[in-house]
Amino acid sequence: MAIDTGELDERYDVVDYTPYPYNVPVARRRVARLTCEWGYKAVAGDAALLASELITNALLHGCLRERLFRVELFLSGSVLRVAVTDPKGERHPRTRVADPYSDQFGRGLLIVRTLANRWGVEGRTVGKTVWAELKAE
């Protein structure tokens, strides 16, 4: 549900998804579309990639069967925040070095760290939220 908060450069969107891989591209396309609609086409690709990496990490490490995960997109001034909330608060993400020849996984947070101006993790009563911010220009 996209919400126009009334401010020129303040927008918010939130959608809950079932924890299945087919929702990764669905959510990624939504983030890209909204970023463009909100007037920031230049960062739409990066926002979509950040969403994709955060969602994939949530599916692999933070989701539980039959428990939804949440994707939020928030624009305030010149900052676009992509946030993904999952139900497993005890599993916090950490960057690691992937073997370039044998590891299929392990590069997601490196991508997030490289693209985002800031990123972090917030604990919740149930679960956690992993977020990344881009300068929206």
Predicted pLDDT at 2:
58
Phi then psi dihedrals of residue 95, to 5 deg: -75, 150
Place of tokens 């579309």: 33
Question: What percent of the chain has a predicted confidence (pLDDT) above 90?
Answer: 58
Tens-place pLDDT, residues 12-36: 999 999 999 999 999 999 999 999 9
Model pTM score: 0.83
Predicted pLDDT at 105:
57
Contact 73, 80 (CB under 8 A): yes
Contact 17, 71 (CB under 8 A): yes
Average per-residue pLDDT in the chain?
85
Average pLDDT over every residue of 37-62: 93
Average pLDDT over every residue of 95-119: 73
